[in-house]
Chain A
């Protein structure tokens, strides 16, 4: 297990350099004049141009120059310095403000998925082909079929504006209550998938041979389902939820955009729109690390849950 984790950590280093390099290249290769982009509409004086060229090593041209700048960037990154956005703010500060919001949103979404998705999935799996099972099937297909870009404004209009059950937008310092509706919208997709996955897994495990054995031991049905079946059924579900948490942590561009939540996705989207290269690369670099770590945690968790999985 230790060697497995070590190997995965080494792989993460490679993945980290690969992704930052690609994002860095994509973000800066396309730019015409970075200095003009930095200054926006205003004219740039010769002195400013010389200073910025010096600061960002823009005098080095071609592929060599690109790698020179990339390595310079990575060097700062490894020292914990994410650099400045084009607006002059420290990217580290931006993330420090945005992340707690996104994490809260992600946890609400995940709680919704677990509370309703897994519970309903277990019930649907036990009562296969019942009215409950069939209606959850229709509902989940509906949710999976509607893209967030449609679902989020619909929820905002009906639940936020028309019936005024929730605040329609979150604002700068969102309360937990303001994040509830976006959390539900964001979680609904994970909820639907978790429900389908749990339902299939429970239904399959109920037919397993070990259930027949448990019955022939004379155990009560409740124990067979809640101990034997559930313990096996939840292995794929927990794995899925772990990966999903990693996804949710990296921000939800659409949901955060629609509900005006100043999270990671919101800032990332603004960075892309304003061609703020340092901001985009900075955020993505951190996201890559979050994603890689959450995946590693899921892999380890998988081995803990299923004794048949052993990493050498």
Chain B
């Protein structure tokens, strides 16, 4: 098992009190009839109070699975967490009972999902669904929960909130539905908000509004946020740090500015190069050749090597360690230094 030999290296030093949320060397497999898919292979990332971490990666890279493992809402089976720790305020969530984990959900760590239409229950009014959390978790009365639901809907800027309390999810537009979803997640004042591709199902203009709203709320309520996305454009304005995932690993971890300026992993570099640019005309869009790997047969060595322009024999043979570059960045590439120097040029 050379693949699990990747040692996690924190990109920034641990503060004295420890991180708010600290995922350490997480391994998750999906055991299905077709075989075992190694979905998460040693993911480590952390989150400090009030900061925004963007987790970037294409579909199947494991960003949502990691988030669901943090929430404790993975379906087990088929998912099995085979190794690792998820420390929240210094305590490992994975060793706690289901009841203790349930207490954390919504109250400490809340989550919003990609497609609000299917994520909201179609047969209950939105006010009821927002209020349900308060009634069930805080023992609030029906009337108080209603009142608080209106406040929350006002907070996420749903116009005429009091009037729309009794409306059903399908009666809202996509953007408004996502706002309802956010209001619901904020009901118990969580310290961490995980946003799993919150804007993917929306129009571009609405995307920007929702991202602005999330950034404002994060600041006003002093939450920490994990923003999961595959959209590089979404990340730039909002995130403090970025973790780029590929085939269930974090391949690059850096603050936003230095990552955009000079990516140190060929995958990140490829992603940035494949953004369409308005200032360059008549040039074919760059792409990353090939396809993401089948997680049941992850390539030997560096999982990105079949698609990588920098690949050498060493990439086939050896799993790259996280290479610590200056300014607290890491890159899991044998040629991280070269890639970064190339990018900076």
**A307 with B122: CB separation less than 8 A:** yes
**A220 with B105: CB separation less than 8 A:** no
> CB-nearest residue of chain A relative to B130?
A217
**B107 with A218: CB separation less than 8 A:** yes
**A218 with B113: CB separation less than 8 A:** no
- Contact with B121, one of A213, A215, A216 (Cβ below 8 angstroms): A213
Q: How large is the interface on A (under 10, 10 to 19, 20 to 34, 35 or more residues)?
A: 20 to 34
Q: Give the complex CA separation of A219 and B118 in angstroms.
A: 18
- Say which one of A83-91, A138-146, A165-173, A204-212 lies at the interface with B: A204-212
Which of chain B's residues 147-170 have a Cβ closer than 8 Å to chain A?
A: 168, 170
**B105 with A212: CB separation less than 8 A:** no
Does B344 interact with chain A (Cβ within 8 Å)?
no
Does B119 interact with chain A (Cβ within 8 Å)?
yes
Q: Which of B113, B123, B137, B188 has the most CB of A within 10 A?
A: B123
**B73 with A212: CB separation less than 8 A:** yes
> CB-nearest residue of chain A relative to B71?
A216
> B170 contacts which chain A residues (CB < 8 A)?
307-308
Does A225 interact with chain B (Cβ within 8 Å)?
no
Q: Give the complex CA separation of A218 and B118 in angstroms.
A: 18
Does B104 interact with chain A (Cβ within 8 Å)?
yes
**B184 with A217: CB separation less than 8 A:** yes
With both chains docked as a complex, state the minimum distance between the C-beta of A307 and any C-beta of chain B, in angstroms. 4
- Contact with A217, one of B105, B115, B122, B168 (Cβ below 8 angstroms): B105
> B185 contacts which chain A residues (CB < 8 A)?
216
**A231 with B118: CB separation less than 8 A:** no
Q: How large is the interface on B (under 10, 10 to 19, 20 to 34, 35 or more residues)?
A: 20 to 34
Does B133 interact with chain A (Cβ within 8 Å)?
yes
**B105 with A216: CB separation less than 8 A:** yes
> CB-nearest residue of chain A relative to B124?
A231
With both chains docked as a complex, state the minimum distance between the C-beta of B187 and any C-beta of chain A, in angstroms. 8
Q: Give the complex CA separation of A286 and B191 in angstroms.
A: 65
Does A239 interact with chain B (Cβ within 8 Å)?
no
> A208 contacts which chain B residues (CB < 8 A)?
118
Which of chain B's residues 171-198 have a Cβ closer than 8 Å to chain A?
A: 181, 184-185, 187-188
Does B102 interact with chain A (Cβ within 8 Å)?
yes
Interface string of A211-233 (1 = CB under 8 A from B): 01111111110010000100110
**A305 with B123: CB separation less than 8 A:** yes
Task: Given A209-B119, A210-B118, A231-B124, verify A223-B136 contact (CB < 8 Å).
Answer: yes
**A218 with B105: CB separation less than 8 A:** yes
- Contact with A232, one of B102, B107, B121, B137 (Cβ below 8 angstroms): B121
Task: Given A214-B121, A307-B123, A308-B122, verify A209-B132 contact (CB < 8 Å).
Answer: no
Interface string of B61-73 (1 = CB under 8 A from A): 0000000100101
With both chains docked as a complex, state the minimum distance between the C-beta of B109 and any C-beta of chain A, in angstroms. 9
> A214 contacts which chain B residues (CB < 8 A)?
121
Task: Given A209-B115, A307-B168, verify A218-B137 contact (CB < 8 Å).
Answer: yes
Does A72 interact with chain B (Cβ within 8 Å)?
no
With both chains docked as a complex, state the minimum distance between the C-beta of B120 and any C-beta of chain A, in angstroms. 6
> B111 contacts which chain A residues (CB < 8 A)?
216
With both chains docked as a complex, state the minimum distance between the C-beta of B211 and any C-beta of chain A, in angstroms. 21
**B105 with A228: CB separation less than 8 A:** no
Q: Which applies to chain A's interface (DSSP): helix, strand, loop or mixed?
A: helix
Q: Give the complex CA separation of A152 and B111 in angstroms.
A: 55
Q: Give the complex CA separation of A223 and B118 in angstroms.
A: 19
**A219 with B123: CB separation less than 8 A:** no
Does A306 interact with chain B (Cβ within 8 Å)?
yes
Does B7 interact with chain A (Cβ within 8 Å)?
no
**A216 with B106: CB separation less than 8 A:** yes
**A213 with B113: CB separation less than 8 A:** yes
**A218 with B184: CB separation less than 8 A:** no
Q: Give the complex CA separation of A308 and B181 in angstroms.
A: 19
> A210 contacts which chain B residues (CB < 8 A)?
118-122
Interface string of A268-312 (1 = CB under 8 A from B): 000000000000000000000000000000000000011110000
With both chains docked as a complex, state the minimum distance between the C-beta of B68 and any C-beta of chain A, in angstroms. 8
Interface positions of A (Cβ within 8 A of B):
208-210, 212-220, 223, 228, 231-232, 235, 305-308
**Known pairs A214-B121, A218-B107, A220-B102. 19 more at Cβ < 8 A?**
A209-B119, A210-B119, A210-B121, A212-B113, A213-B113, A215-B71, A215-B73, A215-B105, A216-B111, A217-B136, A218-B136, A218-B137, A219-B102, A219-B132, A219-B133, A231-B121, A306-B123, A307-B122, A308-B122
Interface positions of B (Cβ within 8 A of A):
68, 71, 73, 102-107, 110-111, 113, 115, 118-124, 132-133, 136-137, 168, 170, 181, 184-185, 187-188
- The 9 A-B pairs with the shortest beta carbon distances in the complex, nearest first, are A218-B105, A218-B106, A209-B118, A210-B121, A307-B168, A216-B111, A215-B73, A213-B119, A209-B119
